[in-house]
Amino acid sequence: MTIETPVRITPRNANGAQAGNSGPPRRLELSVLRHNPHVAASVPHWQTYEVEEADGMTLFIALTEIREQQDPSLQFDFVCRAGICGSCAMVIDGRPALACRTLTKSLGRQVTLAPLPFFELIGDLSVNTGKWMRGMSERLEGWLHMVEHQPDISRIEPAMDPDLADRIYELDRCIECGCCVAACGTARMREDFVGAVGLNRIARFRLDPRDTRSDADHYELIGDDNGVFGCMSLLACHDLCPKQLPLSTQIAYLRRAMVRQGFK
Ligand code: SF4
């Protein structure tokens, strides 16, 4: 099972002392790409805010401070602040990541923040990942298919083999943050590409013995260029997934298994 570690981004250059060092705290400059697509006069532009860095500060804390003390109109999303809800994903210095899991001390003094590309922009750093995830889930029927449509919930389910439960749990840790899709070259070229998040979902349900679908049923859903054969193995999804899911391993496994079954 993967053990999570906080997201850390390598500083681009030495443009300021690191927090925790002796000396005065750094004045961070956060440049945010701002735009409100619901306001006709809005034009995309960069706006820079200054924040004094504090020990243990995350980008989420810095943005909250800006919104509370400088600019209440700044839009960004959060729910859990613990890397579980996936809401605060954004492009941080050019790489998709979670604001709540990014320590400012891992960044340079000047930081650029932009919304995740590919998803519908709500405003500033807020995007509608939920709409895309729902569409993907409906296409892939990304839920447990059981014989009983209304299972008896008072019945005690037979215990699952612990090793299998671990393998399913490993893939179930996806928080649908959208970082893998935002980082994906294929997703930019193919609007209907299901992304690593979608392929991971098929891999997850394929493992589940309670799902009544056959391997062939699962493969049928992803057996084209909008599925597993569209992936160009650029590996950005694997490198940037904040939950460190084994995405490229799963995609490679699915592809090999499908080729063996005659998909091309
Ligand atoms: S696979 Fe990783 S990067 Fe992609 S949506 Fe799930 S948690 Fe986010």
For ligand 1, mutation pick of 7, 171, 180 (most atoms within 8 Å of CB)? 180
pLDDT at 261: 82
Instruction: Tell which atom from ligand 1 comes closest to the C-alpha of 200.
Output: 1
The rounded percent of the chain whose pLDDT value lies above 70 is: 91
Q: How far is CA 106 from the centre of its chain?
A: 19
Count of beta carbons in the 10 Å neighbourhood of residue 15: 13
Q: Please report where in the chains the tokens 């349900």 appear, as a residue.
A: 205
The answer to whether the CB of 109 falls within 8 A of the CB of 28 is: yes
Mean of per-residue pLDDT scores for the chain: 90
Q: Whose CA is nearest to atom 2 of ligand 1?
A: 241
The answer to whether the CB of 205 falls within 8 A of the CB of 213 is: yes
Q: 224: burial class by Cβ within 10 Å (0-12, 13-18, 19+)?
A: middle
Q: Quick one: CA dihedral 217, 134, 166, 233, positive or negative?
A: positive
CA distances from 2 to 167, 173, 202 (A): 10, 10, 20
- Rounded to whole angstroms, the Cα distance separating 98 from 8 reads 10
For ligand 1, mutation pick of 175, 199, 235 (most atoms within 8 Å of CB)? 175
Among 120-124, 126-130, 225-229, name the one with the lowest average pLDDT: 225-229
Looking at the predicted structure, is the pLDDT value of residue 10 above 80? no
Q: How far is CA 37 from the centre of its chain?
A: 23
Q: Beta strand pairing status for 120-123 and 89-92?
A: unpaired
- Rounded to whole angstroms, the Cα distance separating 87 from 7 reads 15
In tens, the pLDDT along 27-45 reads: 999 999 999 999 999 999 9
- pTM for the model stands at 0.88
For ligand 1, mutation pick of 7, 98, 119, 200 (most atoms within 8 Å of CB)? 200
Instruction: Tell which atom from ligand 1 comes closest to the C-alpha of 96.
Output: 3
Within 6 Å (CB) of ligand 1, which residues are found?
A: 174-180, 196-197, 200, 241-243, 245, 247
pLDDT at 153: 76
What residues have CB less than 8 Å from 15, skipping those under 6 apart?
A: 108, 109, 110
* DSSP H stretches of helix in 37-103: 59-69
Instruction: Tell which atom from ligand 1 comes closest to the C-alpha of 133.
Output: 5
As a whole number, mean pLDDT of residues 151-175 equals 89
pLDDT at 264: 64
In tens, the pLDDT along 56-79 reads: 999 999 999 999 999 999 999 999
Looking at the predicted structure, is the pLDDT value of residue 151 above 80? no
Q: Whose CA is nearest to atom 5 of ligand 1?
A: 176
Write the single-letter amino acid at 213.
Answer: R
